[in-house]
Amino acid sequence: MSGTVHLVGAGPGAADLLTVRAARLLGEADVVFFDALVPPGVLALAPDAQKIPVGKRCGRHSTAQRFINKRLLDAARRYRTVVRLKGGDPMLFGRAQEEISFLGKNRIKVEIVPGITSALAASAELGISLTLRGVSRSVVFATPRSADGESSGWARAVAAADTAVLYMAAGDAVRVRDALMASGKSPRTPVAVAESVALEGQALHAGDLQTLPELAARCAGGPALVMIGDVFAAAQAAAWRSLEPRAASQTA
Ligand SMILES: C[S@@+](CC[C@H](N)C(=O)[O-])C[C@H]1O[C@@H](n2cnc3c(N)ncnc32)[C@H](O)[C@@H]1O
């Protein structure tokens, strides 16, 4: 009998932003495969599990996806409860489908536990709703990053939305700004770059689309979201709601 692989959302970082189900599964896990953005405080919830880093920071694929798939399969054949812990929500920009398909083909049972995606954590930390009566009735989650040859309508989709949150975009700020302006977005559209949300070093850089490259350049190397839309006009003045950088003890 094979075990079950649970694809578990670790949320944006703080251990108390996990779901109760995620915390329970971590406590029961025989083995946990975790991404680079998963902080120690979350891993501490799996005291008895073997913990294996399969670190991928976006764009820096230190462990090839094929190899991760194979390791998950081997673990499921050996153990009862295998947890694949992914930052934020596993089903958003997490390559979850590749793991689900591969394990399914190999007749391994897979279960998904959602997590709080970083866009929603940033909205909460900012105290700015992504929807707002009379201002924003549509929200798009997108990334300008695409695999070779993959056609991408991301800029059109973002330009058409009232509010957009871009993942994996801060490192490519000039191209992102130019593509959005070419697609009709005003250079004056408010922008907030939210770095290391719910992690140590949390920071906010607010301005407008024209200044996106300067805002992104202020990032200190943590994961960052580019948030675009009129709802972020308030971000210029508003400090984060709880924007005291989190103490290590809160996340570790
Ligand atoms: C491979 S994607 C994974 C997204 C993840 N599945 C989620 O739901 O948040 C990694 C990107 O998510 C964003 N991200 C993840 N964690 C973040 C955080 N704590 N603060 C800001 N952005 C974050 C960044 O844009 C980063 O480049």
Determine the Cα–Cα distance for residues 36 and 111; give it in Å rounded to an integer.
21
Q: Between residues 40 and 240, which one has the greater pLDDT?
A: 40
Of the residues 86, 168, 172, 208, only one is catalytic, namely 168
CA of 77 from ligand 1 middle (Å) equals 30
Lowest mean pLDDT among 4-8, 35-39, 165-169, 215-219: 35-39
Determine the Cα–Cα distance for residues 78 and 230; give it in Å rounded to an integer.
51
Q: Are 209 and 181 in contact (CB under 8 A)?
A: yes
Of 96, 94, 178, which is closest to residue 141 (Cα–Cα)?
Answer: 94
Is 35 marked active-site? yes
Distances 246 to 28, 62, 115, 201, 236 between C-alpha atoms, Å: 28, 28, 20, 7, 21
Q: What is the pLDDT of residues 68-107, one digit of tens each?
A: 999 999 999 999 999 999 999 999 999 999 999 999 999 9
Per-residue pLDDT, 65:
85
State which of 37, 123, 176 you would mutate to test the pocket of ligand 1, scoring each by most atoms of that ligand within 8 A of its C-beta: 37
Lowest mean pLDDT among 10-19, 53-62, 135-144, 243-252: 243-252
pLDDT-derived band at 146 (thresholds 50, 70, 90) equals: confident
Whether this model's pTM surpasses 0.85:
yes
Is 168 marked active-site? yes
Q: Are 54 and 43 in contact (CB under 8 A)?
A: no
Beta bridge partners of 5: 82, 110
Ligand 1 atom, smallest distance to 37 CA: 16
pLDDT-derived band at 251 (thresholds 50, 70, 90) equals: very low
DSSP characters over 144-195: S---TT----HHHHHHHSSEEEESS-GGGHHHHHHHHHHTT--TTSEEEEEE
The DSSP output letter for 47 is T
Is 1 marked active-site? no
- In the chain, the DSSP E strands lie at 4-9, 31-34, 50-53, 56-57, 60-61, 81-86, 109-113, 139-142, 163-166, 190-195, 203-208, 224-229
Does 219 score more than 80 pLDDT?
A: yes
Q: What would you report as the CA-atom Rg of the chain, rounded to the nearest whole angstrom? A: 19
Encoded tokens for 49: 């599990």
Q: 64: which residues sit within 8 A by CB, 6+ positions away?
A: none
